[in-house]
Amino acid sequence: MSKTLVAIVDDEPDILNLVAINLEKAGFDTEKFELADELHKFLDNKIPDLIVLDLMLPDADGFDVCKDLKKNEKFANIPIIMLTAKGDETDRVLGLEFGADDYVVKPFSPRELVARVKAVLRRGKVKENAKQIIEIGKILKIDLLKVQVLVNEKIVETTSTEFNIIKLLASRIGWVYSRNQILDHLWGNDKIVVDRTIDVHIRNLRKKLGNAGKFIKNVRGVGYKMEE
């Protein structure tokens, strides 16, 4: 059985080797790249299970690399952990909005990074026989494989956060999720927003869904659920 493969992209050789050594000690296979272009060439032939991506690369902006990968159907499901010295809240939020699954600020604990890699892989793991398309009310479809939301067969453009929210709510029809549970699902212990931010995302999502927005129900004083 092949090991889980993690691609590491960082232009600092010391950081690159530090991350690789600790991941390999934890049982992962690794591939190291100092340039975004090297990663893209690698992806033409092989798909890693996760990417650790530095934001400040000599040949590309890490935000753009993340955004482009998430827009490409072939690579959209690869989890990405951003590794960077840019720790401003704006940068962290931007990274998550572009589709990153986690955000680790330098200097960092190698043990913590390994733990985050394991946590992201655990969250993103989809069983081979799992249902890939969730249908609700005959008009709403959530395609987990293509990372798409469709209403009456028309694609609805959602942000990464909006998609992850609707995916969570649709995973258990009728199940009520508190705002804190939704926050935990989105960002784990690394919360960078208040729970009321979820209300804003839900409001925007309902607006985009049009008639299908009615399936997202507000449970007063508790949170939200998806119901036909």
Predicted pLDDT of residue 179: 87
For residues 155 and 171, give the distance between their C-alpha atoms in angstroms, rounded to a whole number: 19
Second-level CATH architecture of 133-226: Orthogonal Bundle (1.10)
The pTM assigned to this predicted structure is 0.57
| Regions of the chain with pLDDT less than 70 | 1-2, 86-95, 124-131, 188-195
Residues 6+ apart with CB under 8 A from 108: 83
**CATH number attached to the domain at 5-124:** 3.40.50.2300
Give start-end residues of each CATH 1.10.10.10 domain in the chain: 133-226
CB atoms inside a 10 Å sphere around CB 114: 18
Predicted pLDDT of residue 97: 72
Per-residue model confidence as pLDDT tens digits over 187-205: 766 555 556 788 889 999 9
Torsion angle of C-alpha atoms 170, 173, 178, 184, degrees rounded to 10: -40
Q: Which two tokens stand for residue 145?
A: 């494989």
Q: Which two tokens stand for residue 108?
A: 């960092």
Q: What is the 3-state secondary structure (H, E, C) of the chain?
A: CCCCEEEEECCCHHHHHHHHHHHHHCCCEEEEECCHHHHHHHHCCCCCCEEEEECECCCCEHHHHHHHHHHCCCCCCCCEEEEECCCCHHHHHHHHHCCCCEEEECCCCHHHHHHHHHHHHHHHCCCCCCCCEEEECCCEEEECCCCEEEECCEEECCCHHHHHHHHHHHHCCCCCEEHHHHHHHHHCCCCCCCCCHHHHHHHHHHHHHHHHHHHEEEECCCEEEECC
For residues 88 and 86, give the distance between their C-alpha atoms in angstroms, rounded to a whole number: 6
Phi, psi of 61, rounded to the nearest 5 degrees: -85, 130
Closest to 185 in 3D by CA, of 224, 134, 149, 137 = 224
For residues 120 and 111, give the distance between their C-alpha atoms in angstroms, rounded to a whole number: 14
Q: Which two tokens stand for residue 194?
A: 């208040």
Give start-end residues of each CATH 3.40.50.2300 domain in the chain: 5-124
